[in-house]
C-alpha cells in the first residue's frame, strides 16, 4: 500500500469511528431523558426495525417515554410496507413509545404522527432550514423528502394501549436512497444545512418539541403550528390512495391529524388515516411539484 493510500484509509477509519462513538448509548444516556421522554433507552448498533422492537417492548409493558434508537436498521419499515434502510453512521432512526395514562388527552394515532413531523420541522426551522410537513407522513426540506414517520399502535381489546412513533431522518448524504428507489425526490439534512447537524442533537431537540406539544395535542395552538408548517398550504393538491383520488386546495391539518381539503364547491373535506400519496398540482412552467 502506498503512503497516500494508507493515510486516506486512516482518515476514513478515524472519521467513521468518530461518528460511531459520538452516537452511542453512553452519549445518549448523558442527554436523556428529555422531559420524561427517552427513559428507558434501548440503543442498538444494528437492529431489524426500531418500530418492531418498540412494539415488542410495548406488549411487554414498557412505560411511556421508552425510546428505541439504532445506528443501523437492516429491515426498517416505511409506510405501505416499503423498506426504510438506515445505514450505519448516516441517518437517525428511533421509535418513541407513547402510553396514554389516566387524565391524558385522548391520543389519536394520526395526531401523534403529525406531532412527530411537526417536532422535526420545528427543529429544522430553528436551525434556519425551510422545512415543512407533507401530510401525512413526510417531512420536506427545501421541497424534498428528508424524513418519514411511521406510527403504529398496540391494542388491548378495544383499548388503545400504546402508540409507537417511528421517525427516520436522512442526516448525511449517504442516507439518501438511490433515485430508482424513490417515491419522491429526497435529500439529507447535511446537504442543505450550512453546518452538519449531530444526530444526537437532532434527536434530543425533536424529543424536546414532542414533550412540549404532547399535553397540548389537539389544542388551537397545535392546529396553528400545524397550519404554519404544512407543505402546499393554499395550493391545489391531489391525494391518491389505492382505488381512488381526490383534488382540492390544502387548507391545513386539524387537531386530530386529519388533512383539510377545500373541494371545488367550497366545502372543506377532512381526510383521515394513512395510505395516502399527496402531490401539489402546479401549472406547467411553474415551480415543479416534484422538485429535483
What is the enclosing helix (H) or strand (E) of 207? helix 199-213
Q: How far apart are CA 151 and CA 116, in angstroms?
A: 9
DSSP-derived secondary structure letter, 230:
B
Query: How near is the Cβ of 26 to ligand BTN at its closest, in Å?
Result: 21
Which is closer to ligand BTN, CB of 81 or CB of 283? 81
Distances (CA, A) of 152 to 22, 45, 91: 29, 23, 21
Residue among 161 and 183 whose Cβ is closer to ligand BTN: 183
CB atoms within 10 A of CB 165: 24
Min dist CB 37 to ligand BTN, Å, is 15
Residue placing its CB nearer to ligand BTN in the complex, 137 or 260: 137
Euclidean distance between CA atoms 258 and 260, whole angstroms: 6
At closest approach, how far in Å is the CB of 124 from ligand BTN? 16
What is the SS3 string spanning 8-71?
Answer: HHHHHHHHHHHHHHCCCHHHHHHHCCECCECCCEEEEEEECCHHHHHHHHHHCCCCCCCEEEEE
Cell numbers placing 138: 413526510
Cβ proximity to ligand BTN, 66 vs 137, nearer residue:
137
What does the binding site for ligand BTN look like in residue numbers (CB under 6 A)?
49-51, 73, 76-79, 82, 84, 93-95, 137-138, 148-150, 166-168
Please say which residue, 184 or 193, places its beta carbon nearer to ligand BTN: 184
Smallest distance, ligand BTN to C-beta of residue 198, A: 18
Nearest distance, CB of residue 134 and ligand BTN, angstroms: 10
Amino acid at each position: 500500500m502506498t503512503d497516500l493510500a494508507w493515510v486516506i484509509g486512516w482518515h476514513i477509519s478515524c472519521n467513521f469511528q468518530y461518528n460511531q462513538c459520538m452516537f452511542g448509548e453512553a452519549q445518549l444516556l448523558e442527554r436523556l431523558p428529555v422531559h420524561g421522554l427517552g427513559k428507558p433507552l434501548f440503543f442498538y448498533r444494528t437492529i431489524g426495525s426500531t418500530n418492531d422492537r418498540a412494539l415488542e417492548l410495548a406488549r411487554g409493558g414498557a412505560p411511556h417515554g421508552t425510546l428505541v434508537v439504532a445506528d443501523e436498521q437492516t429491515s426498517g419499515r416505511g409506510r405501505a410496507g416499503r423498506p426504510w434502510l438506515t445505514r450505519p453512521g448516516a441517518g437517525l432512526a428511533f421509535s418513541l413509545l407513547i402510553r396514554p395514562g389516566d387524565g391524558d388527552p385522548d391520543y389519536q394515532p394520526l395526531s401523534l404522527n403529525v406531532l412527530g413531523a411537526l417536532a422535526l420541522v420545528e427543529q429544522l426551522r430553528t436551525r434556519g432550514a425551510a422545512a415543512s410537513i407533507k401530510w401525512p407522513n413526510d417531512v420536506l426540506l427545501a421541497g424534498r423528502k428528508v424524513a418519514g414517520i411511521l406510527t403504529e399502535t398496540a391494542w388491548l381489546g378495544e383499548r388503545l394501549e400504546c402508540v409507537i412513533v417511528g421517525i427516520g431522518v436522512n442526516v448525511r448524504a449517504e442516507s439518501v436512497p438511490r433515485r430508482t428507489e424513490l417515491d419522491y425526490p429526497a435529500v439529507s439534512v447535511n446537504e442543505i444545512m450550512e453546518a452538519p447537524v449531530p444526530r444526537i442533537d437532532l434527536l434530543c431537540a425533536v424529543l424536546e418539541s414532542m414533550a412540549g406539544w404532547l399535553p397540548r395535542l389537539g389544542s388551537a395552538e397545535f392546529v396553528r403550528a400545524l397550519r404554519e408548517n404544512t407543505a402546499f398550504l393554499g395550493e391545489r393538491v391531489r391525494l391518491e390512495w389505492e382505488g381512488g383520488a381526490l383534488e382540492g386546495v390544502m387548507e391545513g391539518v386539524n387537531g386530530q391529524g386529519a388533512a383539510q381539503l377545500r373541494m371545488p364547491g367550497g366545502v372543506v373535506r377532512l381526510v383521515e388515516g394513512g395510505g395516502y400519496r399527496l402531490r401539489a398540482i402546479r401549472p406547467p412552467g411553474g415551480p415543479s411539484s416534484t422538485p429535483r
